Amino acid sequence: MTQLALFDLDHTLLPCDSDYEWGQFLARIGVVDSEYYAKQNERFYQDYKDGKLDIHEFLRFALKPLSEHSREQLKEWHDAFMKEVITGQLRQQAIDLVKRHQDAGDLCCVITATNSFVTRPIVESFGIEHLIATEPAKSSDHPMAPFTGNVQGIPNFREGKIQNLHDWLSRRNLSLDTLPRSYFYSDSMNDLPLLEKVSHPVATNPDDRLRNEAQKRNWPILELFA
């Protein structure tokens, strides 16, 4: 029977935060007001680490630049972002972890709060087909339609990850309850709601709060980038 392997992305498979790094990249190349954007980016990043992020406020901030430029221009910038920032952050330990699950025949999926425009090319770099992410809304169904700056559906954050995962599984006639095994690798206490739902939670490069929680619950702790 199908087994499921879920992976958070930022600070789990990557030793950095792709959302934060994309914001810093846009500031460096002058697409956004560098001083203002870098300051806000830092504030939201700290709120996320502290477990007090207002996801709706953050997404209004993060998705606004996507709505101000053509998809062709955004792709050009993202290609540069991949080369300049992300490629050097792909670690063999993380690639090997994914490959072990793929070789076992597990259904592998990255589940991340970071939006799909930023993350899909990164996820593809790991050879993973499936992605559940926060979805930026588009002005039409055309693949290259402009982004609106809004969110389509439920932000893929905290309990939102559970709802979006249930919907994704149901489209495949699967459910967490009937899968023989389900793994979730995450670094963040923000992912505690989903970690509690899977049969095999793995605290991966965990933040201090998740490390303490994992130790209390006797969950395995994996250090990919030690």
Distance CA 143, CA 26 (A): 23
Active site residue 167: no
User: Do both 23 and 114 map to the same domain?
Assistant: no
Distance CA 6, CA 4 (A): 6
Residue 157 has pLDDT above 90, yes or no: yes
Quick: pLDDT tens for 20-49: 999 999 999 999 988 998 899 889 989 998
Return the H-helix or E-strand segment holding 74: helix 71-81
Buried b (16+ CB within 10 A) or exposed e, 166-190: eeebeeeebebeebeebbbbbbbbb
Domain residues for the domain of 56 are: 18-88
Interior angle at CA 48, CA 42 and CA 52, nearest 5: 115
User: Do both 94 and 55 map to the same domain?
Assistant: no
User: Do both 35 and 71 map to the same domain?
Assistant: yes
Residue the block writes with tokens 């290259």: 144
Last residue of a domain, one of 32, 54, 88: 88
**Distance from the Cα of residue 76 to its chain's centroid:** 21
Q: What is the CATH number of the domain that holds 136?
A: 3.40.50.1000
Catalytic residue among 8, 19, 106, 187: 8
Quick: pLDDT tens for 105-116: 999 999 999 999
Burial class (CB in 10 A: 0-12, 13-18, 19+), 218: exposed
User: Do both 68 and 148 map to the same domain?
Assistant: no
Asked whether the whole model's pTM tops 0.75, one would answer yes
154: confidence class by pLDDT, cuts 50, 70, 90:
very high
Distance CA 105, CA 206 (A): 26
Active site residue 8: yes
User: Do both 81 and 32 map to the same domain?
Assistant: yes
Distance CA 210, CA 204 (A): 9
- In single-letter form, the type of residue at position 124 comes to E
User: Do both 40 and 121 map to the same domain?
Assistant: no
**Distance from the Cα of residue 77 to its chain's centroid:** 19
User: Do both 27 and 112 map to the same domain?
Assistant: no
Quick: pLDDT tens for 158-174: 999 999 999 999 999 99
Catalytic residue among 10, 17, 19, 106: 10
